[in-house]
Amino acid sequence: MTAPSTPALTIAGSGSHRIWVRLEPVSHVSSAHPRGGWADAFNAVTLTGADFNGDHDRGLSRFEARVYAPPGFEDSDRDRCMLASFEFHHIVLDHAGGGAMDFTGVLVDALAYPQHVYDRIAAGTLLTEIEEAAGRWPGDIRYQPVPHAELQPFLGWRAKVTVAPLKESHQEG
């Protein structure tokens, strides 16, 4: 089987966790993507410096991983801008140990810029100078990134999510 053409996103923020997302096809999406055309699983996202929130409401467990822009980058409503947001439903904790947690869930939303935007941010380019991050007014920055086009076909796939706290040396870099 061949690997998907989707490159793994590598996104860095100022949060306190590292999150890895591996996507696997499940039976209800196999008709949309013939098994012969995709790998059984692929590493889709690595978030360094992410925050996460989990909750349980009306029988639905939900988990959201977010990477925020550096402090000082706000939209016109003075909300701190996000660089990426990934949402998972039906989350189950598979294993926890040594500060790391392994979850299984279903990817239901993927908001992220293309990798070249993150490469520019990592190189020190200000968000105000990146066209994809521009808001509606001059000097304004989007609050949320756009739906990530390359991951949209994989919504509904099983997600293996590993969350680990960053060591202090990683947070400083």
- pTM equals 0.83
110, exposed or middle or buried, with CB in 10 Å at 0-12, 13-18, 19+? buried
DSSP label at 30?
T
Q: Which pLDDT does position 2 carry in this prediction?
A: 46
Q: Is 104 exposed, middle or buried (0-12, 13-18, 19+ CB in 10 A)?
A: middle
Q: Would you state the pLDDT for residue 28?
A: 56
Per-residue pLDDT of the chain (173 residues; tens, 9 = 90+): 444 556 689 999 888 999 999 999 875 555 455 444 555 789 999 999 999 988 887 888 999 999 998 877 776 677 788 999 999 999 999 999 999 999 999 999 999 999 999 999 999 898 889 999 988 888 788 889 999 999 999 999 999 999 999 975 444 34
The residue extents of the domains of the chain are 9-71+81-110+148-166
